[in-house]
Amino acid sequence: MRIATSGRRAAIVTLALLLAACGGSSGDKAPPLSLARQGYTVAALPAVSHGVAGGTQQDNPDVDRAAQAALASFNMPGASVIAMQDGRIVYAKAYGYANLEQRTPVTPETTFPLASVSKHFTAAAVMLLVEEGKLALDAPISRYATGLPAAWGAMTLRQLLSHTAGLPEEPAASAIGALDSYLRKDGAARLAALSTTPLSVAPGTYQYSNLGYGVAAILVSQASGMEFGAFLQQRIFAPLGMTSARMLAPGTRIASGYKQDGDLLYRADYSDAMLSMLGTFGAGGIEVNVLDMVKWEAAQRGERILKKSSLEEMWRQQVATGAGSGYGLGWNTFVVNGQRLVNHMGAVAQYSTTYRRFIDDGFSVVVLSNRDTGDLPVFGALHIAREVTRILRPELKV
């Protein structure tokens, strides 16, 4: 998982190293799609777009032009976009291609990995159990797990979810070792293995940590008595009718992801080992389509899943991360022109995503794409989200 937050470049995850440790690779690289040899560039591909199947939405030419221009500018094969107001669809459309080789277009029904946008679902799972008294945000995690090193046992779930537990971004490669062996362990054994990773900063200091969210997912599993993915399915996805939402796993059908190397785009499909690993980790293992994100957005506008007090705690700045910015529980927090804004961006292998929510105004945008642009100063998905906001809600001035 790679993640980018505003004012900060993406940080690189060591999953490739972890896979190499078990003799695998970071993905099954397909033969290159040689744009030069085939006589075209991504910008020269036919500009295809699709609305919701069976929908009657009128096209917004300004949004369509901005999205297509972004695909060409960022060399992104495709993107799925949805804008919402108070939990209702304002505009939903998909642009470009889910698979370049087969010229399969992206549609709003196409599923993508959420990458680190998954984190607020993990935080929501924790808050559900906090509401039930099965977990406590400020209790040391040694209350819920035994045999941890002293430094680990003193951590709290609040610290894990706000990236202030002192943990590094990723677990030490030695903490996972061979993926096959790691995946066969139960939650307690996985936690014991991960806890061999030493702290990287003093507790209380902000240090973005995918590892922390992996630990939180294990604690959710142990407190609930079910696998993390099953908990999300039973307590969030199924009640909301999010039929496309699931944990990544071998055999799931997601848009093909692409990476750029020089002038060439390569399809870089996940290996089964990568999918299995991501599907156990709370940092970025969910796949979904934009239409189901509307159901989740609507749930956050009421109390269908979580109490308002729990949602507000997630959106409240827990730690400052920069001038005017902070991190809550699963969300980056800002105030823009007097409006509370929470957002998260994510990148994993060859996908990038953005979810931006103006809490007080009620306007939100989700963008899912199948090229990781985290090596650029601005994420392509973030750029599209900003453009959609500028066009549809210019008074928000972002």
DSSP structure string for 320-357:
EEETTEEE-SSSEEEEETTEEEEEEEEEETTEEEEEEE
Separation of alpha carbons 151 and 131, rounded Å:
27
Residues 6+ apart with CB under 8 A from 338: none
Mean pLDDT of 45-57: 92
pLDDT band at 55 (very low <50, low <70, confident <90, very high): very high
> Among 126-130, 229-233, 259-263, 272-276, where is mean pLDDT lowest?
259-263
Mean pLDDT of 3-26: 33
**pLDDT beyond 50 at 19:** no
Q: How many residues does the chain have?
A: 398
pLDDT tens track for 254-269:
999 988 877 777 887 7
pLDDT for position 24: 31
pLDDT for position 22: 31
pLDDT for position 2: 42
Higher pLDDT, 238 or 17: 238
DSSP structure string for 113-140:
E-GGGGHHHHHHHHHHHHHTTS--TTSB
pLDDT tens track for 70-105:
998 888 999 999 999 999 999 999 999 998 888 899
Q: How large a percentage of the chain has pLDDT more than 70?
A: 88
Closest CA to 220 of 299, 141, 277: 141
pLDDT for position 88: 97
In the chain the beta strands, taken as DSSP E runs, fall at 3-5, 8-11, 28-29, 49-50, 78-85, 88-99, 104-105, 112-113, 246-247, 258-261, 264-269, 286-288, 319-322, 325-327, 332-336, 339-348, 351-358, 363-369
Arithmetic mean of pLDDT over the chain: 88
pLDDT for position 104: 93
pLDDT band at 115 (very low <50, low <70, confident <90, very high): very high
Closest CA to 197 of 14, 16, 329: 14
Separation of alpha carbons 330 and 311, rounded Å:
11
Separation of alpha carbons 75 and 69, rounded Å:
10
**pLDDT beyond 80 at 13:** no
**pLDDT beyond 50 at 123:** yes
Q: Measured between alpha carbons, how far is residue 311 from residues 9, 67, 348 in Å?
A: 27, 31, 26
First to last CA, the chain: 27
pLDDT for position 33: 52
pLDDT band at 386 (very low <50, low <70, confident <90, very high): very high
Q: Where are the alpha helices (DSSP H) in 201-261?
A: 210-224, 228-232, 238-240
287 with 370: CB under 8 angstroms? no
pLDDT for position 31: 52
pLDDT for position 3: 37
pLDDT tens track for 279-322:
888 999 999 999 999 999 999 999 999 999 999 999 999 999 99
User: Domains in the chain, please, with CATH?
Assistant: 28-49+112-344 (3.40.710.10)
Separation of alpha carbons 333 and 120, rounded Å:
12
318 with 328: CB under 8 angstroms? yes
**pLDDT beyond 70 at 227:** yes
